[in-house]
Structure 1
């Protein structure tokens, strides 16, 4: 077959894609890199077949259940502060989330450099307002917290878990390739090795996490495969990833050396989710269709192509509804149940760790 590419499209020849589709039917998680790269270029009938293959694996891994969480997102800077009014406001936000049925608070973003607050105190304040699962702080924020407390990262993570931290987001991964990360940012970014070390240290501390990939910018299909491979290797070492979330690059300008990028096509999006299901099969059972990133109808389509989870409802609440980046994007349980019915699945609310609620 060779590395046949259709002239002018940049996509592999349909015959080459079909070859790897046949291989994937028997050994979905054991293809060589070139096989996954070819599948990422699937289009037309071959893309539909790839999605059907991924959907069969989804059925094997998670059954005919459509899971979702009830959560509320908070921005760290927007809810920090040690004054009595600031703490009362944070407590009220957590209490309101619980009253609305949330089982999770997701908090991301760094503390401002001049903040009088600190990460451990914030964790304790949320835990005292609970009980609720706190899913919080990306790798750079965990390093910042350790530095502010003059602690080693393992000691800081142990203290954070003792204070009430339940799990950490696997975001800030972007594409796990140092050259791509530096070009996107227009300067130094958190090195891949450091990101990996932080996530593995969190897992060893008893904090599970999500795993993520931001795709559709300057990266190549081969770099996407390498990213997924690294996530699989981390999972083999720690078992700490509970889900994978593919997030599309938001169109717009990036670093001066890169210029403006349009973001991924819908073809790319379908292929990325399906290939992630294949490559991660047997390692990470849950593939999320991140509905705030794609829109609800598009996310439902991704649930037909390998994904099994819709993520969180993202409750706004009445108190400070604009206190996180995706404010105004909320989903109802009725919408989830209707989607599950259309897919022939059963809707099931889950905890952050995918246990039943």
Structure 2
């Protein structure tokens, strides 16, 4: 059952769309009606919707849900995947990150190739079609690390789709390899990289990024890396982290920038809003920057997802909710606010959990299906690139057992020397 705190922001079940729109303020109603007639939402209009009063949220959600039904039908998809965070050592100093550790930390780890490949094998045996691999920017990673870890995984599980390495990791790896980014991406693609996560985007605004990070990829460099990936035939997700020191103006600008990239490249598979998880994030805990909020409000969560649906319609038609960030209640609410995808089962989730997320580290395929059905939608298991693999309209997925315990306990290197690499180098 959806929480009343969330569901009260939605129109009543079965409510007439015209009646819901009529209850909104004149400015909001006018924007929504024009979008529903086929007008492309511009950046200023998007900002007005994102900044609208809570009383307008039901109308914004209803309009987004109408567009969702037109673009995607009644299906909600998910992918069976496993996260593998191969190291948590990172020195980039992102203020919102509770995951990164220094080399000397007792919690620091760096998985060797055999362990990464083992985790991929376990995922495959449990029905995963994808493994998502990301890690900290460890200064000791060998120049060919990203290539070699791909080789290890693809040797162990050749048919598993590898969705890996954020634009920041790509930039970092290209520098270590002393190669242009495009050539580095071509090398990784040749070794089996299937697609990349569009993370490290945060907010594509210089003013905000300078406060959030010390040395992280600039907005322009993030865009250039994404465009390079799309140019070599690697598709990517797109993301936005919101609810910290940002505003509706930043959100609208970010969405507009993503849409412009998509108009040029067509390389984004989906858009994933990522609500800021504050509980253990240094950005919030250390109070070094004034005005940091403890995440977005329920109405802001709805507006961000709904306006993304309205603004990206026809360009990025898969809008995903992050159940790890927002939990099952809010995720179900957002399935009535323009969302058509529930993301991945994950199996292991470390990054959000390290910042204080309390929503668990795995939803099984069986649980995903029940959650989607409970929201009145048709559950679909998909591939990374959104091909339908199984429709659960008339049956349930196999309810698999829990993870192999070895996969839940990262390896700690006592001497903290780089792990032995077990695949060949150049």
- TM-score (structure 2 length as normaliser): 0.74
Partner SS, residue 288 of structure 1: coil
Partner SS, residue 118 of structure 2: helix
Which sits farther off after the overlay, 89-98 or 99-108? 89-98
Cα separation, 1, equivalents of 2:350 and 2:211: 31
Aligned residue number for residue 7 of structure 1: none
Preserved CA contact (<8 Å) 1:253 1:261? no
Cα separation, 2, equivalents of 1:214 and 1:260: 13
Cα separation, 2, equivalents of 1:129 and 1:80: 19
Aligned residue number for residue 99 of structure 1: 125
Cα separation, 2, equivalents of 1:337 and 1:355: 17
Aligned residue number for residue 208 of structure 2: 180
Give the counterpart of 1:170 among 194, 198, 204: 198
- State how 1:133-152 maps to structure 2 within 5 Å: 133-152=161-180
Aligned residue number for residue 125 of structure 1: 152
Aligned residue number for residue 228 of structure 1: 255
Give the counterpart of 2:51 among 41, 45, 55: 41
Residue 253 of structure 1 and its aligned partner are, at CA, apart by: 4.6
Cα separation, 1, equivalents of 2:251 and 2:189: 32
2:339 aligned with 1:307, yes or no?
yes
Preserved CA contact (<8 Å) 2:320 2:340? yes
Aligned residue number for residue 85 of structure 2: 75
Preserved CA contact (<8 Å) 1:273 1:305? yes
Residue 60 of structure 1 and its aligned partner are, at CA, apart by: 1.3
Structure 2 gaps of 5+ residues are: 1-23, 89-108, 355-359, 390-426
2:231 aligned with 1:208, yes or no?
no
2:73 aligned with 1:63, yes or no?
yes
Cα separation, 2, equivalents of 1:90 and 1:22: 50
- State how 1:240-255 maps to structure 2 within 5 Å: 240-251=267-278, 252-254=281-283
Q: Alignment RMSD, CA only?
A: 2.1
Give the counterpart of 1:16 among 24, 27, 46: 27
Q: CA separation of 1:100/1:324 partners in 2, compared to 1, >3 Å: closer, same or farther?
A: farther
Residue 88 of structure 1 and its aligned partner are, at CA, apart by: 2.8
Residue 324 of structure 1 and its aligned partner are, at CA, apart by: 6.4
Which sits farther off after the overlay, 224-233 or 14-23? 14-23
2:38 aligned with 1:27, yes or no?
yes
Deviation per CA, 1:33-92: give whole Å up to 9, x if none: 3321121123445211111111111111111111000000011216856xxxx3332222
- State how 1:271-282 maps to structure 2 within 5 Å: 271-282=303-314
Give the counterpart of 1:157 among 168, 173, 185: 185
Partner SS, residue 72 of structure 1: strand
Name segments (4+ residues, structure 1) moved above 4 Å: 78-81, 322-328
Preserved CA contact (<8 Å) 2:84 2:116? no
Q: CA separation of 1:121/1:323 partners in 2, compared to 1, >3 Å: closer, same or farther?
A: farther
Aligned residue number for residue 343 of structure 1: 375
2:319 aligned with 1:287, yes or no?
yes
Cα separation, 2, equivalents of 1:105 and 1:143: 21
Preserved CA contact (<8 Å) 1:71 1:103? yes
Residue 24 of structure 1 and its aligned partner are, at CA, apart by: 2.3
**Count of residue pairs the alignment pairs up:** 334
- TM-score (structure 1 length as normaliser): 0.88
Which sits farther off after the overlay, 115-124 or 195-204? 115-124
Cα separation, 1, equivalents of 2:136 and 2:231: 23
